[in-house]
Amino acid sequence: MQRILITGSNRGIGLELVRRYLRREDTLIFATCRNPQAAAPLQALAAQHPHRLLILRLEVTDAGQIVEAVTAVRIKVDGLDLLINNAGTYAGRVGDADPQVTQFGALEVGPMLDMLRVNTVAPLMMAQAFADLLRRGHNPRLVNVSSDAGSLTMWDGGAYTYPASKTALNMFTRCLAHDLRADGITVISLHPGFIQTDMGGPRATLTLDEAIPGVIRVIDNLAPGDSGQFLNWDGSRVPW
């Protein structure tokens, strides 16, 4: 049975990943979100799959809640095969985000640091906390959901904090790949595509139905040689 933990599972990409992994009978999924009681679609899935989906309360920037999540997972399993660091924030919708994190002249330290904590620091803290469980997993993989906005080659300016948060996350991916290689843990950054979600908004070019099967296919096909790479939802490499 494949044991999977997905953060930010209450909507969008995270929720669709949960749905699709549940279609596989040999999966046990730990789905995290900040407020499980308000996550009606996720609760409905848990009611349909009570033995294969466990919802955990987790604010990814809260160190205490991360410890609680590790404990909850350890009670159920002795190893983790896949950790998907999906939780993230844009502080609004693409094209209509908070100017305090996107617009030069209106930038504010507090909101910028809040975004960096969620998008950059939290995935690293999750990796550190769950590393022992991943070491005990079968063909363990750690996937940091990034964005092509974090590509220095592709990004031509603007938005400031979000692309910077993903660029820094990509460096953390490289560092983790180096440190966890000897443990057999494959670590990648993955651009899921510009998807029509609450974050992506109507400007996005892909639907969840178009992108998420590709995301899962990329994860399924990961090999140790892919560790430290920045991959696209279609399997191609994203330039750094």
Within-domain flag for 197? yes
What is the per-residue pLDDT for 120?
99
**How many domains is the chain partitioned into structurally?**
1
Sign, CA dihedral 22-88-123-188, equals positive
Within-domain flag for 204? yes
Sign, CA dihedral 201-206-208-212, equals negative
Within-domain flag for 194? yes
User: What CATH number is given to the structural domain containing 70?
Assistant: 3.40.50.720
* Token pair listed for 153: 């080659």
Within-domain flag for 239? no
Within-domain flag for 128? yes
pTM for this model (two decimals): 0.96
What is the average pLDDT across 173-200? 92
Q: Using one digit for the tens of pLDDT, what is the confidence trace for 122-164?
A: 999 999 999 999 999 999 999 999 999 999 999 998 899 999 9
Q: Are 173 and 189 in contact (CB under 8 A)?
A: yes
Nearest to 236 by CA among 165, 143, 148: 148
Q: Using one digit for the tens of pLDDT, what is the confidence trace for 47-100?
A: 999 999 999 999 999 999 999 999 999 999 999 999 999 999 987 666 678 999
What is the per-residue pLDDT for 201?
65
Within-domain flag for 15? yes
Q: Using one digit for the tens of pLDDT, what is the confidence trace for 5-21?
A: 999 999 999 999 999 99
Q: How many CB atoms lie within 10 A of CB 155?
A: 16
Within-domain flag for 237? no
Domain encompassing residue 54 = 2-232
